[in-house]
Structure 1
Amino acid sequence: MTTEEHVVLVDGDGNAIGAAPKTSVHGQDTPLHLAFSSYVFDTTGRVLLTRRADHKLTWPGAWTNSCCGHPLPGEPVDHAVLRRLSYELGLEVERADLMLPGFAYRAVMGNGIVENELCPVYRVLATTPARPNPDEVGEILWMPWKEFTEGVLSGLLAISPWCKEQVPLLTDLGADPLSWEPAPPHELPPAARVKG
């Protein structure tokens, strides 16, 4: 018997205040909850973009960053990144580097469904090919980071709302994504400072 996946609910200061079934939190009154975004790069600095599967509840069919998801209650966020990369993209990677520890956003779809997430952002280096899981990913595309960021910042590249907000913050870290300096874990919100 499979149990339903739960997400961590947080208050405005980033403290955990409970958990709720993942299927119940995304609606027109979505509570603030803990999530993550990750950007997968290859050794040449290309970023892996994914098109969300067409049956996704939030932003179906939208192009976005490599992988997003939710840590389970008690799960370190970087572990959740590795777990979801394996499940969604067939990538087995050694580690996820914390880049934007305090990123948060709220976005509303045309149908009124809301995303409301405290969403630390991670960088990952992959050395093996991605094998997308069709349950999660409709399509993938590797793109040079400079080309990607210029497309997003100019508005010429249609991308998910969270990715659109993250890209300017990531470009502030420097032109070469492989040389970004990771943020210290203590800068994560309290709910995300779970020890592995």
Structure 2
Amino acid sequence: MSTTVEQVVLLADDGSAAGVADKSTVHTEATPLHLAFSCHVFDQAGRILVTRRALTKVAWPGVWTNSFCGHPAPEEDIDRAVHRRASYELGVRLDSVELVLPDFRYRAVDASGIVENEVCPVYRATVSDVVDPRPDEVAEWMWVDPERLATAVEATPWAFSPWLTLQLPLLAEAGSWARGVDVTPTATRS
């Protein structure tokens, strides 16, 4: 029985492909820039799915974050990768997927020194399936009102992943994220 080694696309500073590496070797104290994606999943009631990363994750174990993230494989269409990862991590089939932040990029270091260094397009998706996450990916999950999530992240940014805290204001600014819900941080509302 053969196992497939998951690979990620390494990037040059300008965002162009610069090679591939095994995912298991990439996330370290010197993580190279690589391609990823982030997805915020909404249900039919307009609630957003937030997940708590499994305690066995290499980076940011146990931290609350967006619905799911992943890495497209070399030569894989990123939209297909979003669908693949939703099925793998959450056990769902996405009803719709929309790219909302095509140029999101960040670098962050967790408490153990592990670095995330990603060009990470951000997607918004809807789902009508029942969520059935893999325990090695997701420790806990819940559907929440987007405005309540924005308030919680604003009040306790240290309790959430850095990519979520960076994405929320950009998503509010883009205007297509929560469909009519004001997720602008309270301090900047007029």
Residues 1:110 and 2:134 aligned together: no
Instruction: Give the SS at the match of 1:172.
Output: helix
Q: Distance in 1 between matches of 2:64 and 2:154?
A: 15
Aligned residues between the structures? 180
Q: Distance in 2 between matches of 1:9 and 1:138?
A: 28
After superposition, the CA RMSD in angstroms is 1.7
Superposed counterparts of 1:52-91, under 5 Å: 52-91=53-92
Please list every run of 5 or more consecutive structure 1 residues that lacks an aligned counterpart in the other structure.
181-196
Residue aligning to 1:24? 25
Contact 1:82 1:95 in 2 (8 A): no
Residues 23 and 127 of structure 1, relative CA distance in 2, 3 Å threshold: same
Residue aligning to 1:183? none
Shift in Å, 1:76? 1.1
Identity %: 51
Residue aligning to 1:171? 172
Superposed counterparts of 1:104-143, under 5 Å: 104-143=105-144
Residue aligning to 2:184? none
Residue aligning to 1:98? 99
Shift in Å, 1:32? 0.1
Please list every run of 5 or more consecutive structure 2 residues that lacks an aligned counterpart in the other structure.
182-190
Instruction: Give the SS at the match of 2:174.
Output: coil
State which drifts further: 169-178 or 11-20: 169-178
Residue aligning to 1:36? 37
Amino acid at match of 2:24: T
Residue aligning to 1:192? none
Residue aligning to 1:188? none
Task: With the length of structure 1 as denominator, give the TM-score of the two structures.
Answer: 0.87
Amino acid at match of 1:119: C
Q: Distance in 1 between matches of 2:177 and 2:103?
A: 21
Amino acid at match of 2:45: T
Q: Distance in 1 between matches of 2:51 and 2:134?
A: 11
Q: Give per-residue Cα distances to partners, 1:2-35, cap 9 Å, x unaligned.
A: 1211000011111001100001111111100000
Indicate the structure whose relative CO is greater, using CA pairs within 8 Å and at least 6 residues apart.
1
Q: Give per-residue Cα distances to partners, 1:131-167, cap 9 Å, x unaligned.
A: 1111211111110011111221233672101111001
Tell me which stretches of 4 or more aligned residues in structure 1 moved more than 2 Å.
153-157, 173-176
Shift in Å, 1:179? 6.5
Residues 80 and 175 of structure 1, relative CA distance in 2, 3 Å threshold: closer
Residues 76 and 112 of structure 1, relative CA distance in 2, 3 Å threshold: same
Q: Distance in 2 between matches of 1:152 and 1:110?
A: 18
Q: Distance in 2 between matches of 1:143 and 1:59?
A: 21
Contact 1:54 1:60 in 2 (8 A): yes
Q: Distance in 1 between matches of 2:44 and 2:158?
A: 23
Amino acid at match of 2:133: P
Contact 1:151 1:157 in 2 (8 A): no
